Amino acid sequence: MNLRRDVFQAIADPTRRAILLLVATQSMSAGAIAANFDTARPTVSKHLQILTECELLEYEQSGREIYYHLNAAKMKEIADFIEPFRKSWDDRFNKLENLMKKYKPKK
């Protein structure tokens, strides 16, 4: 598993969580986002890259600037992170139910 693409790894970092909060309500250019942090611009760029790889951020090129905004659908998925686990068991149990409804005892 590529850890950098692990969305939970991505949101474990406080700077990255702060970036997500910044762009939650508005699109912001990379420069405007970086201006909110004391860290070096390349470090912020790296965080933006990781968040984009995890699909938590989406971006649009506008002239020479790249504008980032939050991918709300992906954030919702994280809130529901138990759902894929539940779904995998639900699928399995549905199969069991269909199988046994057709099952004729060999007695």
Partner 1 sequence: MEQKTKVNAENGQQELVITREFDLPVELVFQAFTEPELIEQWMGTKVLKMENRKHGGWQFETKDANGNVVFKANGVIHDYQPNEKITRTFQMENAPFDVQLEFLEFEKITGDTSKLKMQIVYRSVSLRDQMLKLPFAQGINMAHNRLQEVLKKLVVKQ
**Residues in contact with partner 1 by the rule CB under 8 A:** 1-2, 5-8, 54-55, 77, 81-90, 92-97, 99-101, 103
6 vs 65 by CB, closer to partner 1:
6
Tokens of 28: 């912001």
* Cα–Cα distance measured from residue 57 to residue 31, given in angstroms and rounded to the nearest whole number: 15
13 vs 83 by CB, closer to partner 1:
83
CB of 73 to partner 1, least distance (A): 12
With beta carbons less than 8 A apart as the criterion, state whether 98 and 92 touch.
no
CB of 84 to partner 1, least distance (A): 4
CB of 79 to partner 1, least distance (A): 11
Residue 63 CB-half CA count within 13 A: 3
User: For residue 8, what are the contacts with CB-CB under 8 A and spacing of at least 6?
Assistant: 78, 81
64 vs 102 by CB, closer to partner 1:
102
38 vs 85 by CB, closer to partner 1:
85
CB of 13 to partner 1, least distance (A): 17
User: Could you tell me which residues are beta bridge partners of residue 29?
Assistant: 67
* Cα–Cα distance measured from residue 27 to residue 5, given in angstroms and rounded to the nearest whole number: 23
